Structure 1
Amino acid sequence: MAKACDICGSRKWRKDKVTGNAICEEGHVQQNYRSEVLDMEIGGPRHQLQRRKMGNRGPRRNKRREEGRANPLFYHGAEAEYLRIQALQILLRLQIQAISKLWSLPETYEMIVRDLWTYQLSISCLPSWPTSTDGRQTPESDIVAITKQSQPSQPDVEMADEERKSDDDSSTDPEHEKDDLSENEEGDGRASDVDSEILEEIEGMSKEEDLEDEAMIEKQNQDRRGKKKLRISDTIITLVMGLWIMRIPFIGIDIESAINEMKIPYIDFYHTTHLPTEIKRHMNRDVMIALAPLRSPSPTMIHRQCKVFARRLNKKYGIEVPETNAQPVVWRITSSLGGTPTTYLQITRLLTILDVNLSLIEREISTFHRKAKSRTHMQRDTERDGDDSPDLISSNGEGLESYERTLLYQDVIAPEVVIVSAWIVIMKITYGLDGIPREALLRSDPAVGLPNANVWMTELRTRLNEGVLRGSRKDREKPHFHTMDPDDMDAFLFKAERILLSHREEPSDVSMFPLTPHAPHEESVVPANSWANFHSNTATQTSNQIRHNPIKPNEGINKSLPLMPGEKIQSFPSNDPFLELPTELEVVSNAAAELIGWDAVEVSRVVEALERRLEKIRPRDERGRKKFDEATSETDNDKIEAEAEAQAGGQVEVRRDRESPV
């Protein structure tokens, strides 16, 4: 029996949903009552009860369509899908014209992109053909069918009344009933055989129709298996793949910047004037949303989808996508980060030594076998990977599946990521980037003549903090007008007016920018990220360059030599979230990632992979020790001692307390 209330004596209690207190029917709170449901011990067992309600909403219903209030102009189903694909083809045609004019591409580029779009359609899941005779199912016919089910029309009512009257007349005629009975009795014996044959034929025909329907459904499922739904981002992937085939040098951030600045039509394409009004009037809400993306695809997503598309072209159609034209991209990235022709040669040499894959197809692919997955997992993998889904095979009565994987770790990487990673490795070899200075003790050191570490690092940090490396992407940040200069504010308003009102229908009664028109903002001839002045100042002032630092002879004293470029290179794991990189290395990594528009973690991962490859290609002796250490160390010692003897005219004892170069 429940405890009685101390005030009113009631035994009916309820629990408050918020506080958890016990309250009687009169509203009195029971004292000395503790609700363990709301108490939790940190680190101990949890006693809190969580109730979750899972509702089954059932299939999606279109109430406007059922009630007859749907817009008869909107297309649905296969018609809407074909209308969306037609709009995508219009968008692709406009994108080809825009990028050809922007980058002065030849007419061959348009032909290549058209062929690639054909392959995109062949590997995509297209809707079934409309079943009506005029080529589409009219929405009006669907609405009429729905209204007929809910409310019969007048001709149907009259026909039903006539049939009812004829049935009543026939039921009131007894002689007619007798004649029918006699005829049926006489013809039962003769018609029984015929009826059985007809029934057998009908059953056979129905079975054949069922089998044909099942075969057709199975064929449709097989055709759709391994295919993806066509999206608006596939137009960008097709454009980029055309650039790959023509070996036009570019980086992914160029495409993203051109799209965000509305130089290539993509963002909010539905609300532009590119689409004809005759097409817009038939688009439903789903098609509107699909044709109005809010932002450009990222460079990471562009490269990933291009890699999948190239793999499908190679696997299904045997089309080989050539390697990228890396030399112009290497010089562009190197010059944007303050590099010199010497740095350019070092990067290209490093990429050649490491045998970096600059294409979209993996090398050294091998086939593996594993136990077959369930249908749910297979369908999910098929929708994600498309034609690269595993093929089922049988072995010893067990279901197995075969899949292809590359034997090389991170073999297909974006070219710009590989190039900036190689640049970081070269900078680590040259400057160390660990807080310990390097000195060129040899005249033949490639670092002689390069900018000094402190001067170059200061300039790079300044450009990184000011956002110069982002270029036009700097304008996408939230501006602070109270701190902006008038010229910067005019440039921002001019760019906003050009982007927001381009290919838009201007309202007749309202002006979006009610400011007085002004002269267009003239862009500077010299790029913002130009290092020409920096290199000219460095060349005139020898103190800002890395100079040959010969050993000064000290009689009777052993000298510990400083570190040279390429010695004691530190490698840091990229998967450690709590790792603190040295300040110089962090600045270099952030600058490289900001220039190409990728995440700094991805760049660090590729840098680690390149350093591991460098470690693997070093020759070793029979016992597994590195032969490169002793030979290089002895050679460097001989050269240093020879230079010191030539300068001092005598012998000088030197001691090297460092490791050999990488």
Structure 2
Amino acid sequence: MDYVTRGVCGQESCRERRYYLDNGQWFCRRGHLQEGTQVEEDADDFGKLGRISRVKREKEEKSRKTARGRKAQTLLLQAYQIILWKQCFALIHDHGFPTQYEGVVRDLWALKLQDYTSNIIESTDDEDVDSEPELFSSQPSQKDEDEPSVTIRPTYHTWPRISETVALCYLAAIIMQLPICLSDFYRLILRQDIPYIRPLKVVPREIKRQLPPEFTRILTVNRIPRVEVLHRTLRDIALRYQRKFGIELPPLNSPIIFYRHMKRLALPVDVYEIILTLQKLLGFTFEYPEYLNDDKRIESLQLPEIQMMVLIVIATKLLFPFDNIPRNPATDLEPTAQGINWQEWIRAQQQFESQKHCEGKIGVEKAIQVSEADVSRMEPHQLDEYLDWYEKDWLDTTKDPHELAEMFAPSESENQTPPRHGPGAEQSAYTDEDKELDALLRKVTEGILSVPIVPDQEGEIVARPGMWYRRYRRVSALPAEARPFHEIAAKLAGVSLHKLVRAVSAAEWRLGHGLEYQARSEYSEYESESNSEDGSDLEEGSDLEFGSDLEGRSHSEEGSDIDVADDEVDEDHEFDGGLHGNSGDEMDELNELDEQLMGLGVGDE
């Protein structure tokens, strides 16, 4: 009898392991029937028809070992450099930047790379010395006592951040004197025209796989940055390049930038003449300083873009104030002979903003800011547009697709706008914005008011432009007509409304004290000349009368946090060069600035 060795029988404590087959049933050697096991014999004795063979999938070679040490740090810098190059590529090929722009960015990055290469050398020990066995002991060795230990843990302060890529691109634009503002780069980030949100999607897959999690976290940006953060990063990098590498950053291309801001704010060209006068009085150079002032109250005034916007706001308040106090020019040659209808200006600006959201489209700039409440109010075509944007920018397409996944691939919307390629397409896209700006200017110009002319008369005091200048220290003190103007100005300058109001107030305080000091100096010179000619001293108390006159020209209303100053004597004289005169030459110069902006795809909002 043939026996087959199997497991233990287990019935009645039987430990038998050998079994035999009888009438299709299995019995152990001691005769215990194995229940549930039965073999049926085929009468025709057909054999097996075949065997099913399953082909095993070829496993991918796991080359995604996480790199450590020097190699991981090198991969981090390579990924960062790829992101920076992608940004330059988009700016040159899609937004009309000059081809030399990439070389300037590369030189700036080469200087900055010196700091990180030194960090790699300092933070990595001799990795190649692994042949000799190492003895571990609880007692510190002589080498450890002499040399300080270096931590390899990466932090946001020792390695570059993504916000620094935008700062490098902006510094290169300053060096090349391109009329670009930081708000333009912020708008490109919101529109995702340059890689900033989730920048790892432009990094090759092989590099991403080997990056350790702590380095991946440094290169991960999943939310919209605040423009104040970009200002602060730009200021720190500009200081570092000037101090460590001795680079002299030129001033901003102020004429064209002033022209762009004035065009977006729909201001007359006469404002530019007042801006030049105020610039000399305040001493603004539109350059990034080599040293920062520790006074937090004037911290914003050290940034050149904020300086330019402060001058625009003050000049506008001088020529076209937001209050309802009547101020009459003496002749019709003054720019204040015509005034801005601020109510019509606000309506024109609101219409200009509404044209951007015509046809019910979301737009890339708004899609990234969509919330749950916005989704519930969307139309079907808006949902399709939002899902198309999400598929394009948030789905990971670097992974190898599954065979079945290709059959259920998400389809793009039929009316989706094709991507723009080439500077010509970008220029045609910005033509629509130029047309909208021209329509805005025409509408504001149609609402210009004529101010009555009141000539000078003896014995009669007439309120002239520049007198009773109002100073607003807080946002809550802004009138209804002034708030929309300040909001658009703050958006163009890339700061919050609160910071712009504080910066304007600080500049007005500095301007008032500077004029007061100049008036006192001129009075002292006049007093000394009078004493030398007449040989007699002034009466006691004359200085008090002059001081009381200065006090009467400026006082504060505590209830509304507004300072009211009457520039009747000396301050009106200081602004006389800016308020009177013909601006025809400036008009001819500014008409030519449009041609310089045609090659750059940096349209205004």
TM-score normalised over the length of structure 1: 0.57
Contact preservation (8 Å) 2:175, 2:249: yes
CA spacing shift, 1:518–1:244, aligned 2, 3 Å:
closer
Q: Residue 525 of structure 1 is aligned with which of 424, 431, 434?
A: 431
Instruction: Answer with 515-524 or 308-317: which moved more.
Output: 515-524
Partner of 1:369: none
* Count of residue pairs the alignment pairs up: 445
Q: Deviations over 1:384-434 (max 9, x none)?
A: xxxxxxxxxxxxxxxxxxxx8699944753333222222221222123213
Partner of 1:282: 210
1:316 aligns with 2:244: yes
Partner of 2:173: 243
Q: Deviations over 1:92-144 (max 9, x none)?
A: 2222222222333334322222222122223346233463339xx9xxx9xxx
Residues 596-635 of structure 1: pairs in structure 2 closer than 5 A: 596-618=493-515, 619-620=518-519, 621-622=523-524, 623=543, 629-630=568-569
Q: Deviations over 1:276-301 (max 9, x none)?
A: 23222212322222222113543322
User: 2:74 aligns to what SS in structure 1?
Assistant: helix
Contact preservation (8 Å) 1:321, 1:359: yes
- Counterpart of 1:547, as a letter, is S
CA spacing shift, 1:631–1:213, aligned 2, 3 Å:
closer
User: 1:527 aligns to what SS in structure 2?
Assistant: helix
Q: Residue 217 of structure 1 is aligned with which of 139, 148, 155?
A: 148
Partner of 2:128: 133
Q: Residue 90 of structure 1 is aligned with which of 82, 85, 96?
A: 82
TM-fit CA distance, 1:253: 1.8
Contact preservation (8 Å) 1:336, 1:529: no
Contact preservation (8 Å) 1:427, 1:433: no
- Counterpart of 1:342, as a letter, is D
Partner of 2:470: 570
Note the aligned Cα RMSD (angstroms).
Answer: 4.6
- Counterpart of 2:465, as a letter, is P
CA spacing shift, 1:632–1:608, aligned 2, 3 Å:
closer
Contact preservation (8 Å) 2:471, 2:508: yes
> Partners of 2:243 and 2:430 in 1: how far apart?
47
CA spacing shift, 1:301–1:613, aligned 2, 3 Å:
same
TM-fit CA distance, 1:88: 0.9
Partner of 2:5: none
> Partners of 1:81 and 1:607 in 2: how far apart?
45
> Partners of 2:99 and 2:224 in 1: how far apart?
25
CA spacing shift, 1:553–1:78, aligned 2, 3 Å:
closer
Partner of 2:263: 335
> Partners of 1:426 and 1:472 in 2: how far apart?
35
Partner of 2:103: 111
Contact preservation (8 Å) 1:326, 1:415: no
> Partners of 1:524 and 1:421 in 2: how far apart?
27
Contact preservation (8 Å) 1:442, 1:548: no
User: 1:571 aligns to what SS in structure 2?
Assistant: strand
> Partners of 2:82 and 2:574 in 1: how far apart?
66
Contact preservation (8 Å) 1:431, 1:438: no
Q: Deviations over 1:545-585 (max 9, x none)?
A: 2324134999xxx9874x432110111224xx8x4332222
Contact preservation (8 Å) 1:447, 1:565: yes
Partner of 1:433: 322
> Partners of 2:335 and 2:251 in 1: how far apart?
29
Q: Deviations over 1:453-495 (max 9, x none)?
A: 4432443465578888x99745544385787788877776666
CA spacing shift, 1:529–1:499, aligned 2, 3 Å:
farther
CA spacing shift, 1:559–1:497, aligned 2, 3 Å:
farther
- Counterpart of 2:79, as a letter, is A
CA spacing shift, 1:346–1:496, aligned 2, 3 Å:
farther
- Which sections of structure 2, spanning at least 5 residues, go unmatched? 1-61, 420-427, 525-542, 554-566, 576-605
- Counterpart of 1:608, as a letter, is S
- Counterpart of 1:478, as a letter, is V
> Partners of 1:276 and 1:427 in 2: how far apart?
51
1:101 aligns with 2:60: no
Report % sequence identity. Answer: 22
Partner of 1:478: 370
Contact preservation (8 Å) 2:69, 2:124: no
Contact preservation (8 Å) 2:263, 2:441: no
> Partners of 2:570 and 2:95 in 1: how far apart?
51
1 or 2 for the larger relative contact order (CA 8 Å, sep ≥6)?
2
- Counterpart of 2:469, as a letter, is I
Q: Deviations over 1:9-48 (max 9, x none)?
A: xxxxxxxxxxxxxxxxxxxxxxxxxxxxxxxxxxxxxxxx
> Partners of 1:629 and 1:538 in 2: how far apart?
31
Contact preservation (8 Å) 2:67, 2:212: yes
Contact preservation (8 Å) 2:331, 2:455: no
> Partners of 2:408 and 2:326 in 1: how far apart?
63
Q: Deviations over 1:345-389 (max 9, x none)?
A: 3323322332213111247x8xxxxxxxxxxxxxxxxxxxxxxxx
Partner of 1:547: 450
User: 1:570 aligns to what SS in structure 2?
Assistant: strand
- Counterpart of 2:503, as a letter, is V
Partner of 1:172: none
User: 1:447 aligns to what SS in structure 2?
Assistant: helix
TM-fit CA distance, 1:78: 4.1
TM-score normalised over the length of structure 2: 0.62
